[in-house]
Chain A
Amino acid sequence: MSQAEVLRRVSPLWTFGLLRSELVTTFRRWRTLALLGVLAAVPILVGIAVKLETQDGAGPGRGDGGGGPAFIAQITNNGLFLVFTALAATLPFFLPMAIGVVAGDAIAGEASSGTLRYLLVAPAGRTRLLLTKYATVMTFCLVATMVVALSALTVGALLFPLGDLTTISGTQISFADGLGRALLIALVVAASLIGVAALGLFVSTMTSSGIAAMATTVGLLITVQILDQIPQLHALQPYFFSHYWLSFADLMRDPVYWDDLVKNLGLQVLYAAVFGSAAWARFTAKDITA
């Protein structure tokens, strides 16, 4: 390679080269593909289950006044609701778990396989490498959410009728409007995972064992979800990253109820800032031995 080319790569554009190579590495892994496959299977399972259950004409969840994930009672009338149900079903556990695996692996995985030092050999700087890693994890958040949404939309369109839909406030909106809201909801769900991603990245800088980082992140996720259910912790719960996750359903109100959505996004940004900077502090100051 020529000297000129090396110089060019130090320009800001160079970060994109690093990002691209990170993205390719992440999405080429079997583990990542398997996670995405599991996520894509959830809407298929939900769709088929609802279809089978309602073949005799009865709506799902009628008997007990509507159990199960949000919007499940509406799926038979409009396949688009499968998107919302699938996101509501995967957001509490499947999605953040997948994020936890990818984020936990980001730094610790490199360290445990002995490649971290090679990544740091080039004039990248640790900060830039960390940012690239975080961008990769966030891209994965978006891709994972979109996989769920698109799989749900496909299954919903195949198994159930589509058309104008009724918002949960009882007003009617057109199918195009509904699709727009579905996209918005998918984006909000992806953004809801920013906090977990930052947390996972921070944990990942703490250890040089990829498995330990993943397990810790997923463990924290489960712990927080459980704590969020304990009424005595009422005062703390608004600060749990998962507390406002299901507020994405507020986008289906008419007019949209923004309060909790804004709180959710604000909270995610806060988590990203706190754990992102903690990850930076840890990663830029630590001895890289592997």
Chain B
Amino acid sequence: MGVPAFFRWLSRKYPSIIVHCVEEKGKECNGVRIPVDTTKPNPNEVEFDNLYLDMNGIIHPCTHPEDKPAPKNEDEMMVAIFEYIDRLFNIVRPRRVLYMAIDGVAPRAKMNQQRSRRFRASKEGAELTEEKNRMREEVIQRGGYLPPEEIKERFDSNCITPGTEFMDNLAQCLRYYVAERLSNDPGWKNVVVFLSDASVPGEGEHKIMDFIRRQRAQPNHDPNTHHCLCGADADLIMLGLATHEPNFTIIREEFKPNKPRPCSLCGQTGHEIKDCQGVARQKQGEHDEFAGAMPAAEQEFIFIRLCVLREYLSRELTMASLPFPFDFERSVDDWVFMCFFVGNDFLPHLPSLEIREGAIDRLVSIYKDVVHKTGGYLTQNGFVNLERVELIMQAVGVAEDNIFRKRKEDDENFKRRNKEKRKRMKAEQQGPAFMTSGQFAPQALGRRDRPEPVHNARYQAYDMRMQSVEQHNKDAAQSLKSMMRNGGRSSAGVSDGTDRGVKRKCEDSDSEPEPEDNVRLWEEGWKQRYYKTKFDVDVSDDGFRKKVVRSYVEGLCWVLRYYYQGCASWKWFFPFHYAPFASDFRDIQEMFSEFEKDTKPFKPLEQLMGVFPAASGNFLPPTWRNLMMSADSSIIDFYPDDFAIDLNGKKYAWQGVALLPFVDERRLRAALADVYPDLTPEEVRRNSLGSDILFLGRSHPLFDFIHELYRSETQEEAPVPAELCHGIQGTLNLDDNPILPDETVKSPVPLLRDISLNSSINVKFRDPQFAEGFVFKAVLLPGAKMPSKVLKPEDYERGARGPWRPQLGFNPNRQQAHLDQAGFRALGHSLPRAQQFRGQYSNAAPPSSYHQGSYSRHAHSSGQQHFQHSRQNAPQRPPPSFSSVPPPFPRQQQPYRGGGHGWDRAVQAQRSAYQQNLSRGGGGPGGYQQRYDQRQEDWGDRRDNRGQQQARGFPLPPPSRHIRWNN
């Protein structure tokens, strides 16, 4: 979904859907990294069957990372991608399927958004380079220091589009990667790997959905498959819900908000390129100890549990006393549909629906009202009931006026508070103290003006001091005044009359001037102005408005169909840059019936012509590129050099609307028909539509079947035998250039080795096909077992059961904190043991020094009881000489004092063992125990005696005999 704020809204409203990932890190021994053994159970206490990777969410951050230095060349990028996939595989540990989907040619509806992004990226890149060069010169002239510029080609992220050489290379590298892991990594042994690369049409996430949908529709599918989908897009959540699979989880990188980006000239945070002074970083704290987080900290991952989201939604959407039976699955589909209204990749969202303003909540409450009137659900299996949708839209339309007004008020409040805050911040933050300003500022030499001698230095310095004092006073007075003025009012409250409607003439000229808003939705006549400004039509032009609404209605149907059934039309797109108003949705029932049938996607190179600006023409063959630039080209209008960006009420350019012309498919195809013959065979290959590939390793049950297919050189398709592959169905075809076992597989990446003994095999795979007009049902499958509930039941009574303990992970009985055996042994070294306690955990008592001498322990908890035992029962015998040995952990006291409790809790789980040991007195592991017992007595003595002899009473190290045992 094109709504970045959607996930934030969702995770704030339904917080329990998020579970932090536990990631087992590989160990390093003598400089050699030991890979993690992923055959072990998943430390997240859940076992996943299928892992689906939306590869574009991996390719982009690995090839042009935002917060790290970029990889130097393509090979480094590939290695980064492999490592990322390894990390995900380690966290998720899929046991059956790994599905990697790279974006192929997208439907036309999506291509418009891709086009807009690429045109903008191209512009931004050029501007950035220019600004960097200019600022670099300026800063160096002024005497600042900048790290030397690396002469490297700027990576044009536009090459991450199907049909480019880069994507072709990537597919080759991924094949190598899969073969290597299948051959060598034990965790991959029984996993089937699917690779759908850029030559297969369809967006990555939708190819994944298609796969799941089609598997669900065939009878051998396991309805309790546990799916895990990796991707950062918020609409993956929608897609996951749309599958109606009971066990669906999403994994994504944890987003850390408000992390400032470093200036790309000098690498420091806190300013942007245009303010760069090339100054050394200021130390925070005497030794720079208050500097922010380490810049290279690794990204963490989070799981999003859709079953918990379903629990939340069931509470939210449950409607009582309906005239028809309530079906939760249907209401989930309706919820998904309503989320499209606040934003999706294919339609501009309605101006009155902003997720930040609680649009979804508004829609849900309208929905619950309306459903009594309409007598049914809005959607079914991805088909929209337009009559009912109209009722919802009309209800939103009625509220539009108020929505716009409130938006303006909130905006004004927000800006005012921000301004005050910024003033305060500015007063505090004057920049590094060693940088002078005013006439004392460093001046560049060699330029036109000769640096002037300082005039009136003393006066100036005095002046500057007084200025800042005055400013402080002024600011303080100002904030006091405004506080008194606005006192007691909440941030969302109604501003009083003096604030409303006052046009903010920039009294503070340092703040940026507000972008001119010609539409002013909060004032009377907004509809007129909107249609005039955005569409350049009179509001009385009903015919035109109907056209816009019709296209929008088509769009809603198309989008829902896309999520539930697959792409209904590869050609359809929304041909306007703006959305209509909700109140314009009148008589929409008749507006739409069916999409054009038998539409085909563009071929990869054709698609490149449709989404690339002329500046990225280098990815295309020369005669094709010429069509983007020549004045005689019959499609030159598709490639403007410069275009308008309408902020449309937003703050930042990237949120605005790029007013690019739409591509006319007929003319594009006609123009390309002339230059098709110029393609080289390589380009022809890149331009063709490909097929999904299936990989497996030798120990997989399906291996022999596939191997046999190759040996028999069959030309026919072969269906997958259901029992050999966890119920997955499909048809197999021989690959023209397969990876076969016992052959060497050459590595396309020079950094990595060839696979000398490959034991994997690959084959072409096709999803199960269904008849024309087949409808995939959006229902729970029979045999599906719902996972156990996680949320606190609404009628939970805090009685004998104690307070509600929220479930933090996948397992309700999760072990919280615990020490491994090694931890206890380490503690055991230094801690005294009472003779009473046997067993490994019996030394969980803190040192007795606490309750002797000056450290009298007040009774905290039952844990203390044990220690008192020890005290009482210790025989009084003088210890052998210890004085020469220094106490091992002089600081142990601190953690243990407070930690008595924590320890206590940690040990709670072991309590039973503890008790047993107490009573047993002699049990425990073998010889260790016996010798242990001998020492108990000695130790007890030493401890007590120590307390008498030494005021500090630190636990002393064990005698050397003790140490020997533990080797």
Indicate, yes or no, whether A interacts with B: no
Interface residues of chain A, those whose CB is within 8 Å of chain B, are none
Residues on B lying within 8 angstroms of A by beta carbon are none
